[in-house]
Amino acid sequence: MKALLLESIHPFAESILREAGFEVETRTGALDEPELIDALQGVDVVGIRSKTEITPTVLEKAGGLTAIGAFCIGTNQIALDDAATRGIATFNAPFSNTRSVVELAIAEIIAMARRLTEKDSSLHKGVWDKNSKGSHEIRGRKLGIVGYGNIGSQLSVVAEMLGLQVYFYDTDDKLAMGNAHRCGSLDELLETAEVITLHVDGRAGNAGFFGAEQFAKMRPRSLFLNLSRGFVVDYDSLRENLLSGHIAGAAVDVFPTEPKKRGEAFESPLQGIPNVILTPHVGGSTEEAQEDIGRFVAGKLRDYVERGTTTLSVNLPSLTLEERAGAGEGRRITHLHRNTPGVLAKVNSILAEHGVNIEGQLLNTRGENGYVVTDVAQLPDAAITDLRAMPETIQLRIIG
């Protein structure tokens, strides 16, 4: 098997794949469409980050791809449905930078409460502004988390360890961590907390969901953070609330439009306002997160190729599979198919016709695709031919 890793993916990924027996080629940059199509000839597994686009044309012309690893969080750069239709499993790293985002949020809450950016900038200008006015401890303060998913719930745990009282609101019914208090509505949270931090996901319905009405409901002189998605907040309204003093400070890491490249110019209505911390979408950008992304995604690619495991795949039905018992003797058939009634019965009747003994079998479906994995004691070539010839078959792999 051959793997191509683009965009300077962490070396952990290369070593995991090499250990699993892959021949690995690495490149530092992203490739455009024609270059990528060329580079993918003879490649089984490709690893990319956010700058390489895997379009329907790339998938059509790439030939023999088995899996794609997105060594990042987002997968917008990949034609996921097309990949699924061609039986190409895609994996990403949804949790690898959770802790990094949480730590930045905590640092920013303390920095805003102590007005650190103002003190820092005064002293750099030679002004010794030693005074305690407007500087606060965070101990005992009420933190309001909007969106209690991977990041929100981990922030809840770390914030409690620092003595904050945690309140949260989530549209889903989430388990409260530690002593965190669930609010029944966003309004209840806004009226209670002194620091509001957004960690909602990027679903379309969240566009502009936090604006003038929500800022007005926040307690006077509270702090506001957004490290989720830029388009969920009305930043003009945040600016007005900062200038009027209703909001005492803000930390913003994500923006509705962000420069594509490092060094490009950037503009925001929040620039130049005191006690406002602006960061260039670096919440999850740490060396530790990159290392974990390399480990996590390479592990998923290896497990898919070696065992057929699709756990946490973003486009195929999920199956968690153990290594085949009695390795070396039997074989594992992974059969990705169009999800129509009777496919499992057909697979099993083909195996029965050829006298194949089934040792174990698992099935799962996702939208238009079904995935059945069957461990067998022996497998004649004729059975493989018949399974491959089924009109519903998208991809058949024999492992072992």
Ligand X SMILES: NC(=O)c1ccc[n+]([C@@H]2O[C@H](COP(=O)([O-])OP(=O)(O)OC[C@H]3O[C@@H](n4cnc5c(N)ncnc54)[C@H](O)[C@@H]3O)[C@@H](O)[C@H]2O)c1
Q: Does residue 87 belong to the site contacting ligand X (CB under 6 A)?
A: no
Pick from 254, 276, 336, 383 the residue near ligand X by CB under 6 A. 254
Q: Does residue 50 belong to the site contacting ligand X (CB under 6 A)?
A: no
Classify the C-alpha dihedral 213-217-222-225 as positive or negative: negative
Closest to ligand X by CB, 7 or 375: 7
Q: Least distance from C-beta 130 to ligand X, angstroms?
A: 33
State whether residue 313 is helix, strand or coil.
strand
Tell me the residue type at 118.
E
Stretch that binds ligand X, among 11-19, 43-51, 55-63, 227-235 (CB under 6 A): 227-235
Q: Does residue 199 belong to the site contacting ligand X (CB under 6 A)?
A: yes
Stretch that binds ligand X, among 18-26, 49-57, 63-71, 280-288 (CB under 6 A): 280-288
Do the Cβ atoms of 373 and 396 come closer than 8 Å?
no
Q: Does residue 97 belong to the site contacting ligand X (CB under 6 A)?
A: yes
Q: Least distance from C-beta 289 to ligand X, angstroms?
A: 8
Closest to ligand X by CB, 43 or 155: 155
Q: Does residue 209 belong to the site contacting ligand X (CB under 6 A)?
A: yes
Specify the DSSP class assigned to residue 92.
Answer: -
Angle between helices 287-307 and 98-113 (to 10 degrees): 160
The whole-angstrom separation of Cα 64 and Cα 201 is 34
Q: Does residue 227 belong to the site contacting ligand X (CB under 6 A)?
A: yes
List, by residue number, the catalytic residues. 229, 258, 281
Residue 219 CA: distances (Å) to CA of 87, 115, 184: 52, 18, 18
Q: Does residue 144 belong to the site contacting ligand X (CB under 6 A)?
A: no
Do the Cβ atoms of 46 and 22 come closer than 8 Å?
no
Site residue total, ligand X (CB under 6 A)? 29
DSSP H helical ranges for the chain: 11-19, 33-39, 56-62, 80-85, 98-113, 116-124, 150-161, 186-192, 212-217, 235-244, 287-307, 343-353, 381-389
- The residues, any chain, with a CB within 8 Å of residue 183's CB and separated by 6 or more, are 144, 167, 168, 169, 189, 192
Closest to ligand X by CB, 35 or 188: 188
Closest to ligand X by CB, 2 or 217: 217
Contact letters (x/-) for ligand X, 161-180, by CB under 6 A?
A: --------xxxx-x------
Instruction: Look up tokens 């999920």; give the residue.
Output: 318
Q: Does residue 182 belong to the site contacting ligand X (CB under 6 A)?
A: no
Q: Least distance from C-beta 38 to ligand X, angstroms?
A: 32
- Residue 206 corresponds to which tokens in the numbers above? 């969240």
Closest to ligand X by CB, 148 or 235: 148
* Chain positions contacting ligand X, by CB under 6 A: 73, 97, 101, 146-152, 169-172, 174, 199-202, 206, 209, 227-229, 253-254, 281, 283-284
